[in-house]
Chains A and B, each alone.
Chain A
Amino acid sequence: MIATLLVAMLAELFPNGISHYAIGGLFVGLGAAVIYLGTGIAAGASTFLESTLSYGSSLSRFQQYRPSRDWRVVFTLGIVAGAAVYALAFQDGIWTTDVQWWRLLIGGVLVGIGTRVGKGCTSGHGVCGVGSVSGTSFVGVATFLFVAIGVAQLVQALGVSP
Protein backbone atom coordinates (compact mmCIF):
# COMPACT_ATOMS: atom_id res chain seq x y z
CA MET A 1 0.00 0.00 0.00
CA ILE A 2 2.70 2.44 1.06
CA ALA A 3 4.90 1.17 -1.74
CA THR A 4 2.12 1.76 -4.30
CA LEU A 5 1.62 5.26 -2.94
CA LEU A 6 5.34 5.94 -3.14
CA VAL A 7 5.54 4.75 -6.73
CA ALA A 8 2.54 6.90 -7.66
CA MET A 9 4.12 9.90 -5.98
CA LEU A 10 7.45 9.38 -7.73
CA ALA A 11 5.69 9.07 -11.08
CA GLU A 12 3.94 12.36 -10.33
CA LEU A 13 7.12 14.18 -9.31
CA PHE A 14 9.35 12.63 -11.99
CA PRO A 15 7.19 11.99 -15.08
CA ASN A 16 10.31 11.45 -17.21
CA GLY A 17 12.15 9.28 -14.72
CA ILE A 18 15.38 10.30 -13.06
CA SER A 19 18.10 8.25 -14.70
CA HIS A 20 19.08 10.64 -17.52
CA TYR A 21 19.03 13.55 -15.07
CA ALA A 22 21.25 11.77 -12.56
CA ILE A 23 23.65 10.38 -15.17
CA GLY A 24 23.91 13.79 -16.84
CA GLY A 25 24.57 15.40 -13.47
CA LEU A 26 27.35 12.91 -12.74
CA PHE A 27 29.01 13.84 -16.04
CA VAL A 28 28.72 17.55 -15.27
CA GLY A 29 30.36 16.93 -11.89
CA LEU A 30 32.99 14.73 -13.49
CA GLY A 31 33.91 17.51 -15.92
CA ALA A 32 34.38 19.99 -13.07
CA ALA A 33 36.25 17.34 -11.04
CA VAL A 34 38.72 16.51 -13.84
CA ILE A 35 39.65 20.18 -14.19
CA TYR A 36 39.96 20.60 -10.43
CA LEU A 37 42.14 17.51 -9.99
CA GLY A 38 44.52 18.55 -12.75
CA THR A 39 44.70 22.28 -12.15
CA GLY A 40 43.17 23.16 -8.78
CA ILE A 41 40.68 25.42 -10.58
CA ALA A 42 37.03 25.30 -9.54
CA ALA A 43 35.63 26.19 -12.94
CA GLY A 44 32.40 28.11 -13.44
CA ALA A 45 30.79 28.83 -16.79
CA SER A 46 29.87 32.49 -16.38
CA THR A 47 33.26 34.16 -15.87
CA PHE A 48 33.78 33.34 -19.56
CA LEU A 49 31.37 36.19 -20.39
CA GLU A 50 33.55 38.83 -18.74
CA SER A 51 36.92 37.30 -19.54
CA THR A 52 35.97 37.11 -23.23
CA LEU A 53 34.87 40.76 -23.21
CA SER A 54 38.47 41.60 -22.19
CA TYR A 55 39.58 40.77 -25.77
CA GLY A 56 37.59 43.72 -27.05
CA SER A 57 37.18 46.09 -24.10
CA SER A 58 39.82 47.82 -22.01
CA LEU A 59 37.51 48.26 -19.01
CA SER A 60 39.37 47.36 -15.81
CA ARG A 61 36.52 45.10 -14.71
CA PHE A 62 37.13 42.80 -17.71
CA GLN A 63 40.92 43.18 -17.88
CA GLN A 64 41.27 41.59 -14.44
CA TYR A 65 40.23 38.29 -16.06
CA ARG A 66 42.91 38.53 -18.75
CA PRO A 67 45.13 35.79 -17.25
CA SER A 68 42.34 33.20 -17.45
CA ARG A 69 40.60 34.27 -20.64
CA ASP A 70 42.29 31.81 -22.99
CA TRP A 71 41.49 28.67 -21.02
CA ARG A 72 37.94 29.90 -20.41
CA VAL A 73 37.41 30.03 -24.18
CA VAL A 74 38.75 26.46 -24.41
CA PHE A 75 36.45 25.35 -21.57
CA THR A 76 33.40 26.87 -23.29
CA LEU A 77 34.33 25.32 -26.66
CA GLY A 78 34.63 22.02 -24.80
CA ILE A 79 31.11 22.43 -23.40
CA VAL A 80 29.70 23.15 -26.87
CA ALA A 81 31.60 20.18 -28.33
CA GLY A 82 30.57 17.84 -25.49
CA ALA A 83 26.90 18.67 -26.04
CA ALA A 84 27.42 18.15 -29.77
CA VAL A 85 28.87 14.69 -29.07
CA TYR A 86 25.74 13.91 -27.05
CA ALA A 87 23.54 15.16 -29.90
CA LEU A 88 25.39 13.12 -32.54
CA ALA A 89 25.15 9.97 -30.44
CA PHE A 90 21.63 10.21 -29.01
CA GLN A 91 19.67 12.94 -30.78
CA ASP A 92 17.77 12.90 -34.06
CA GLY A 93 19.27 15.86 -35.93
CA ILE A 94 19.36 19.29 -34.33
CA TRP A 95 17.08 20.33 -31.49
CA THR A 96 15.66 23.85 -31.34
CA THR A 97 13.71 25.59 -28.62
CA ASP A 98 10.19 26.95 -28.88
CA VAL A 99 10.82 29.49 -26.13
CA GLN A 100 10.32 32.89 -27.72
CA TRP A 101 13.38 34.91 -28.71
CA TRP A 102 12.55 37.89 -26.52
CA ARG A 103 12.42 35.67 -23.44
CA LEU A 104 15.86 34.29 -24.29
CA LEU A 105 17.27 37.77 -24.98
CA ILE A 106 15.85 39.60 -21.93
CA GLY A 107 16.42 36.57 -19.70
CA GLY A 108 19.98 36.39 -21.01
CA VAL A 109 20.66 40.04 -20.18
CA LEU A 110 19.41 39.56 -16.61
CA VAL A 111 21.35 36.30 -16.24
CA GLY A 112 24.48 38.10 -17.50
CA ILE A 113 24.11 40.94 -15.00
CA GLY A 114 23.01 38.73 -12.11
CA THR A 115 25.63 36.03 -12.39
CA ARG A 116 28.48 38.56 -12.36
CA VAL A 117 27.08 40.71 -9.56
CA GLY A 118 26.16 37.59 -7.56
CA LYS A 119 29.64 36.02 -7.94
CA GLY A 120 28.52 32.87 -9.70
CA CYS A 121 25.95 30.92 -11.66
CA THR A 122 24.43 27.47 -11.58
CA SER A 123 27.85 25.90 -12.20
CA GLY A 124 30.06 28.19 -10.09
CA HIS A 125 27.73 28.36 -7.08
CA GLY A 126 25.55 25.34 -7.81
CA VAL A 127 28.15 22.72 -8.68
CA CYS A 128 31.57 23.90 -7.42
CA GLY A 129 30.35 26.14 -4.57
CA VAL A 130 27.86 23.64 -3.15
CA GLY A 131 30.52 20.94 -3.65
CA SER A 132 32.85 23.12 -1.57
CA VAL A 133 30.18 23.35 1.17
CA SER A 134 30.36 27.15 0.79
CA GLY A 135 27.76 29.07 2.82
CA THR A 136 27.90 31.90 0.28
CA SER A 137 27.03 29.50 -2.53
CA PHE A 138 24.13 28.00 -0.56
CA VAL A 139 22.75 31.52 -0.16
CA GLY A 140 23.33 32.25 -3.87
CA VAL A 141 21.65 29.01 -5.02
CA ALA A 142 18.71 29.40 -2.63
CA THR A 143 18.17 32.98 -3.81
CA PHE A 144 18.20 32.33 -7.54
CA LEU A 145 16.25 29.09 -7.22
CA PHE A 146 13.37 30.64 -5.26
CA VAL A 147 13.23 33.77 -7.42
CA ALA A 148 13.38 31.72 -10.64
CA ILE A 149 10.55 29.45 -9.44
CA GLY A 150 8.40 32.50 -8.64
CA VAL A 151 9.10 34.17 -11.98
CA ALA A 152 8.60 31.01 -14.06
CA GLN A 153 5.26 30.34 -12.38
CA LEU A 154 4.21 33.98 -12.82
CA VAL A 155 5.12 33.95 -16.51
CA GLN A 156 3.13 30.73 -16.93
CA ALA A 157 0.16 32.18 -15.01
CA LEU A 158 0.21 35.20 -17.33
CA GLY A 159 -0.28 32.78 -20.20
CA VAL A 160 3.11 33.26 -21.86
CA SER A 161 3.88 29.93 -23.51
CA PRO A 162 6.30 28.83 -24.57
Chain B
Amino acid sequence: MAADHEQHPLFMPLIFVGGLLFGFGLGFSQMAQPEVVLSFLQFEDFGLLFVMFGAAIVTGITFFGIKQIRTTAPLTGDTYVRRLKTLDKNVVIGGGIFGVGWGLSGICPGAAYASLGIGNYAILWGILGMFVGAYIQGFWRSTRAEQRSSTTTAD
Protein backbone atom coordinates (compact mmCIF):
# COMPACT_ATOMS: atom_id res chain seq x y z
CA MET B 1 0.00 0.00 0.00
CA ALA B 2 1.38 3.39 -0.96
CA ALA B 3 1.49 6.10 1.66
CA ASP B 4 -1.08 8.91 1.43
CA HIS B 5 1.41 11.54 0.36
CA GLU B 6 2.33 9.45 -2.67
CA GLN B 7 -1.18 9.69 -4.12
CA HIS B 8 -0.56 12.69 -6.37
CA PRO B 9 -0.02 11.49 -9.98
CA LEU B 10 3.05 13.70 -10.34
CA PHE B 11 4.69 12.53 -7.10
CA MET B 12 6.69 9.62 -8.52
CA PRO B 13 7.62 11.41 -11.79
CA LEU B 14 8.93 14.36 -9.79
CA ILE B 15 10.99 12.10 -7.50
CA PHE B 16 12.44 10.46 -10.61
CA VAL B 17 13.32 13.81 -12.21
CA GLY B 18 14.95 14.93 -8.95
CA GLY B 19 16.95 11.68 -8.92
CA LEU B 20 17.96 12.23 -12.56
CA LEU B 21 19.36 15.69 -11.84
CA PHE B 22 21.03 14.43 -8.67
CA GLY B 23 22.66 11.50 -10.47
CA PHE B 24 23.64 13.60 -13.49
CA GLY B 25 25.37 16.00 -11.09
CA LEU B 26 27.25 13.18 -9.37
CA GLY B 27 28.38 11.92 -12.78
CA PHE B 28 29.34 15.36 -14.09
CA SER B 29 31.26 16.25 -10.90
CA GLN B 30 33.23 12.96 -11.16
CA MET B 31 32.21 12.16 -7.57
CA ALA B 32 30.84 8.88 -8.95
CA GLN B 33 34.50 7.85 -9.35
CA PRO B 34 35.97 6.56 -6.04
CA GLU B 35 39.45 7.61 -7.26
CA VAL B 36 38.38 11.27 -7.38
CA VAL B 37 36.96 11.10 -3.84
CA LEU B 38 40.16 9.45 -2.60
CA SER B 39 42.34 12.09 -4.29
CA PHE B 40 40.34 14.71 -2.39
CA LEU B 41 40.71 12.91 0.95
CA GLN B 42 44.44 12.53 0.24
CA PHE B 43 44.75 16.29 -0.38
CA GLU B 44 45.70 15.91 -4.04
CA ASP B 45 42.68 17.76 -5.43
CA PHE B 46 40.35 19.87 -3.32
CA GLY B 47 37.76 20.30 -6.07
CA LEU B 48 35.26 18.04 -4.32
CA LEU B 49 34.60 20.84 -1.82
CA PHE B 50 32.81 22.64 -4.64
CA VAL B 51 30.47 19.70 -5.17
CA MET B 52 29.31 19.56 -1.57
CA PHE B 53 29.17 23.31 -1.00
CA GLY B 54 27.74 24.01 -4.45
CA ALA B 55 24.94 21.57 -3.71
CA ALA B 56 24.39 22.82 -0.15
CA ILE B 57 24.16 26.44 -1.34
CA VAL B 58 21.41 25.49 -3.80
CA THR B 59 19.45 23.54 -1.17
CA GLY B 60 20.10 26.28 1.42
CA ILE B 61 18.62 28.99 -0.81
CA THR B 62 15.72 26.73 -1.81
CA PHE B 63 14.86 25.56 1.72
CA PHE B 64 14.99 29.11 3.05
CA GLY B 65 13.43 30.85 0.06
CA ILE B 66 10.36 28.68 -0.44
CA LYS B 67 9.18 29.26 3.11
CA GLN B 68 8.93 32.98 2.36
CA ILE B 69 6.58 32.18 -0.54
CA ARG B 70 4.37 29.30 0.64
CA THR B 71 3.96 26.99 3.62
CA THR B 72 3.02 23.62 2.13
CA ALA B 73 4.34 21.53 -0.76
CA PRO B 74 1.97 21.33 -3.77
CA LEU B 75 2.18 17.56 -4.34
CA THR B 76 1.88 16.35 -0.75
CA GLY B 77 0.38 19.15 1.30
CA ASP B 78 3.27 18.62 3.73
CA THR B 79 4.61 21.67 5.54
CA TYR B 80 8.08 22.81 4.46
CA VAL B 81 10.42 22.03 7.32
CA ARG B 82 14.21 22.07 7.48
CA ARG B 83 16.09 18.79 7.77
CA LEU B 84 16.88 18.86 11.49
CA LYS B 85 17.86 15.78 13.46
CA THR B 86 18.63 15.52 17.14
CA LEU B 87 22.27 15.65 18.09
CA ASP B 88 23.37 12.74 20.26
CA LYS B 89 26.41 10.48 20.49
CA ASN B 90 25.10 8.34 17.61
CA VAL B 91 25.79 11.19 15.18
CA VAL B 92 29.47 11.14 16.15
CA ILE B 93 29.80 7.35 16.44
CA GLY B 94 27.96 6.74 13.17
CA GLY B 95 29.78 9.60 11.46
CA GLY B 96 33.08 8.08 12.58
CA ILE B 97 32.21 4.60 11.25
CA PHE B 98 30.97 6.19 8.01
CA GLY B 99 34.24 8.12 7.78
CA VAL B 100 36.37 4.98 8.09
CA GLY B 101 34.37 3.33 5.31
CA TRP B 102 34.40 6.42 3.11
CA GLY B 103 38.15 6.89 3.58
CA LEU B 104 38.88 3.24 2.86
CA SER B 105 36.76 2.98 -0.28
CA GLY B 106 36.00 6.47 -1.60
CA ILE B 107 32.32 5.64 -1.90
CA CYS B 108 29.18 6.97 -0.24
CA PRO B 109 25.60 5.86 -0.96
CA GLY B 110 24.48 8.46 -3.55
CA ALA B 111 27.80 8.39 -5.40
CA ALA B 112 27.75 4.58 -5.42
CA TYR B 113 24.33 4.47 -7.14
CA ALA B 114 25.59 7.05 -9.65
CA SER B 115 28.77 5.02 -10.16
CA LEU B 116 26.63 2.13 -11.34
CA GLY B 117 25.08 4.51 -13.87
CA ILE B 118 28.45 5.36 -15.44
CA GLY B 119 29.06 1.66 -15.97
CA ASN B 120 31.23 0.92 -12.94
CA TYR B 121 29.94 -2.60 -12.27
CA ALA B 122 32.70 -3.20 -9.67
CA ILE B 123 30.77 -0.79 -7.41
CA LEU B 124 28.28 -3.61 -6.83
CA TRP B 125 30.79 -4.86 -4.22
CA GLY B 126 30.34 -1.56 -2.41
CA ILE B 127 26.55 -1.47 -2.75
CA LEU B 128 26.36 -5.07 -1.51
CA GLY B 129 28.52 -4.02 1.43
CA MET B 130 26.22 -1.10 2.21
CA PHE B 131 23.16 -3.35 2.33
CA VAL B 132 25.03 -5.78 4.58
CA GLY B 133 26.08 -2.90 6.86
CA ALA B 134 22.56 -1.45 6.97
CA TYR B 135 21.23 -4.93 7.78
CA ILE B 136 23.77 -5.52 10.56
CA GLN B 137 22.85 -2.28 12.36
CA GLY B 138 19.13 -2.85 11.77
CA PHE B 139 19.31 -6.39 13.17
CA TRP B 140 21.29 -5.22 16.16
CA ARG B 141 19.01 -2.28 16.91
CA SER B 142 15.77 -4.25 16.37
CA THR B 143 16.99 -6.99 18.72
CA ARG B 144 17.99 -4.42 21.32
CA ALA B 145 14.64 -2.65 21.03
CA GLU B 146 12.81 -5.96 21.58
CA GLN B 147 14.93 -6.81 24.61
CA ARG B 148 14.24 -3.37 26.06
CA SER B 149 10.47 -3.68 25.53
CA SER B 150 10.37 -7.21 27.02
CA THR B 151 12.18 -6.05 30.15
CA THR B 152 9.73 -3.16 30.46
CA THR B 153 6.73 -5.48 30.25
CA ALA B 154 8.33 -7.82 32.80
CA ASP B 155 8.56 -4.96 35.31
A-side residues, CB < 8 A to B, are 13-18, 20-43, 45-46, 48-50, 52-53, 57, 59-62, 67-68, 70-71, 74-87, 90-91, 93-99, 101-137, 139-156, 162
Contacts and interface: CB of A to CB of B under 8 A. Distances in A.
B103 A112 contact: no
Chain A: interface secondary structure? helix
A82 B114 contact: yes
14 contacts: A27-B24, A37-B73, A38-B74, A45-B109, A76-B19, A87-B119, A95-B119, A104-B123, A110-B97, A112-B133, A117-B90, A121-B110, A149-B43, A151-B100
B42 to A, nearest CB: 5
B130 A38 contact: no
B23 to A, nearest CB: 3
Interface in B3-37: 3, 5-6, 10-12, 14-35
Nearest to B52: A126
A25 B79 CA distance: 26
Interface of B: 2-3, 5-6, 10-12, 14-35, 38, 41-60, 62-63, 66, 72-76, 78-87, 90-123, 125-139, 141-142, 145-146
Contacts of B72: 40
Contacts of A139: 87, 91-92, 95
B18 to A, nearest CB: 4
B55 A26 contact: yes
**Which interface residue of A33, A62, A101 has the most chain B CB atoms within 10 A?**
A33
A74 B49 CA distance: 28
B34 A148 contact: no
A75 B18 contact: yes
Contacts of A49: 109, 130-131, 133-134
Contacts of B62: 29, 32-33, 36-37, 131
B41 to A, nearest CB: 4
